[in-house]
């Protein structure tokens, strides 16, 4: 049995336009003993530097000194220098793993929220994300980080002063004066949110600042990031560490794996621009980012893709695929969550609008009474008697009715 795996770690900033940024994501793969931080306890020096300055150097040193640490790295928008992730940015890196080594079992991560004094996110539970099971089999992993998971390191008073808070000012990505804020001497807690009329949400004394008027992550269902880990073919070259990019014209374009030049359907970024475009990743490997842009676009999905349909009245067919995260965007969008046969698993819709969008089920012997609508936290899970079909983020199950569905 070959114990060597090549894993692609992909990070996407899910925040809305003018929303939160975050620093290059630190990740570590370990045996479950690396404790990044503890809630309701003082932050370590490593977490203080990460949360106040976006600097992961001490955290990486701590990881190197850990007996059970195996591999680590940073993921930013460019490899040198690493740059912060703005809303809509999606980046990835590839790491080689030997699953026979005990230290290659669990995945941890941490990043600073920008702008802020000392806000960050990361996993407190070292064994929360297991990427290899006890038999050494790779476990594909994908999860969304929401605004409720943003933490306050408790190391600096949240005054949002442009000389203290990283990202508040004309140079948002660099903290020229680290450790200049007022010491708080607190503990790590859930972040209470930014000052309503402060320099982050409503900048008054800061010229040329990056707009962050939509950075209030305390808004219900506020999305921060999507992190996914997938296996890639061992023959993949180092060039595949960067997503392939395909751009459409202002006319009606067809993006289909094996037909469109440069589009192989494995970790590609495809942007449709204007026109009524067609995206077909039915038989693709997955991990693609598809952006429709303007006008009325048509999507045929496979598995494990990220779709941002964009402006216009878009139509999305999930086919038999699963693991897709779908954002319809402005306009009247049609989400066909099952066609001809049930999908192999659940798909997630991030922005279903009750009075605007529609959910479709076609060529199946199903009607509204055959569906179960279950509340799961702030989300709704749509299921048949045998399986889950879709998750609607931020939608109350009792707000849905037969009027939201089309059956053909």
pLDDT of residue 374: 96
Residue at token pair 């890196």: 93
The conformation of residue 252, written as its DSSP 8-state character, comes to: -
CA 115 to chain centre: 18
Q: In which residue ranges of the chain is pLDDT below 50?
A: 1, 79-82, 169-177, 235-243
Strand order in the sheet with 244-247: 244-247, 268-271, 289-291, 306-308, 325-327, 347-349, 388-392, 379-383, 372-376
- d(CA 248, CA 228) in angstroms, rounded, equals 26
Interatomic CA distance for residues 76 and 259, integer angstroms: 31
- The per-residue pLDDT for 267 is 74
Using an 8 Å Cβ cutoff, are 351 and 326 in contact? no
List where CATH 2.60.40.2130 sits in the chain.
4-226
* Domain 4-226, CATH homologous superfamily name and number: F-spondin domain (2.60.40.2130)
* pTM, two decimal places: 0.59
Contact of 126 with 106, CB cutoff 8 Å: yes
Rounded-to-10 torsion of CA 342, 347, 353, 355: 10
Q: Do residues 324 and 307 lie in contact, with contact meaning Cβ atoms separated by under 8 Å?
A: yes
Structure tokens at 155: 């190391």
Q: Tell me if 94 sits within 8 A of 232, measured CB to CB.
A: yes
Residue carrying structure tokens 């807690």? 189
Q: Pick the closest to residue 119 from 164, 177, 79, 87 (CA basis).
A: 164
Neighbours of 344 (CB within 10 A): 13
Q: Residue 66's pLDDT is what?
A: 81
Question: Tell me, what's the pLDDT at 197?
Answer: 85
Alpha carbon distance 43, 119 (integer Å): 12
DSSP state of 341: B
- In whole angstroms, what is the distance from residue 88 CA to residue 168 CA? 20
Neighbour tally for 185: CB within 10 Å = 10
Nearest-angstrom CA–CA distance, 311 and 309: 7
Distance, CA of 300 to CA of 321 (rounded, Å): 10
CA separation for the pair 269, 90 (Å, rounded): 9
């Amino acid at each position: 049995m070959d114990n060597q795996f090549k894993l692609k770690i992909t990070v996407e900033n899910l925040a809305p336009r003018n929303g939160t940024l975050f620093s290059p994501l630190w990740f570590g793969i370990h045996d479950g003993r690396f404790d990044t931080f503890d809630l309701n306890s003082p932050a370590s020096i490593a977490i203080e530097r990460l949360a106040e300055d976006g600097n992961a150097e001490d955290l990486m040193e701590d990881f190197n000194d850990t007996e059970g640490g195996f591999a680590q790295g940073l993921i930013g928008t460019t490899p040198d220098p690493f740059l912060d992730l703005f809303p809509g940015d999606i980046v990835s890196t590839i790491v080689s793993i030997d699953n026979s080594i005990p230290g290659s079992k669990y995945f941890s991560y941490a990043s600073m929220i920008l702008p802020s004094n000392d806000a960050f996110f990361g996993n407190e539970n070292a064994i929360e994300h297991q990427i290899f099971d006890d038999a050494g089999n790779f476990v594909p992993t994908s999860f969304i980080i929401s605004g409720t998971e943003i933490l306050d390191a408790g190391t600096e008073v949240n005054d949002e002063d442009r000389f203290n808070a990283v990202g508040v000012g004309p140079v948002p990505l660099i903290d020229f004066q680290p450790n200049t804020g007022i010491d708080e001497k607190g503990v790590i807690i859930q972040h209470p949110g930014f000052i309503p009329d402060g320099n982050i949400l409503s900048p008054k004394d800061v010229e040329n600042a990056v707009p962050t008027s939509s950075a209030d992550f305390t808004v219900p269902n506020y999305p921060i990031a999507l992190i996914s880990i997938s296996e890639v073919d061992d023959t993949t070259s180092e060039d595949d560490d960067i997503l392939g990019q395909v751009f459409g014209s202002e006319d009606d374009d067809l993006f289909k794996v094996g037909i469109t030049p440069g589009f192989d359907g494995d970790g590609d970024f495809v942007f449709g621009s204007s026109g009524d475009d067609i995206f077909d990743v039915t038989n693709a490997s997955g991990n693609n980012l598809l952006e429709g842009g303007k006008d009325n676009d048509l999507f045929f999905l496979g598995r494990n893709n990220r779709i941002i349909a964009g402006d216009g009245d878009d139509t999305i067919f999930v086919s038999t695929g699963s693991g897709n995260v779908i954002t319809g965007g402005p306009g009247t969008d049609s989400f066909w969550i099952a066609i001809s046969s049930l999908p192999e698993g659940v798909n997630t819709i991030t922005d279903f609008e009750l009075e605007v969008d529609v959910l479709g089920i076609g060529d199946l012997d199903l009607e509204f009474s055959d569906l179960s609508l279950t509340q799961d936290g702030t989300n709704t899970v749509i299921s048949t008697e045998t399986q889950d079909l879709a998750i609607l983020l931020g939608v109350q199950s009792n707000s849905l009715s037969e009027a939201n569905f089309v059956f053909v």
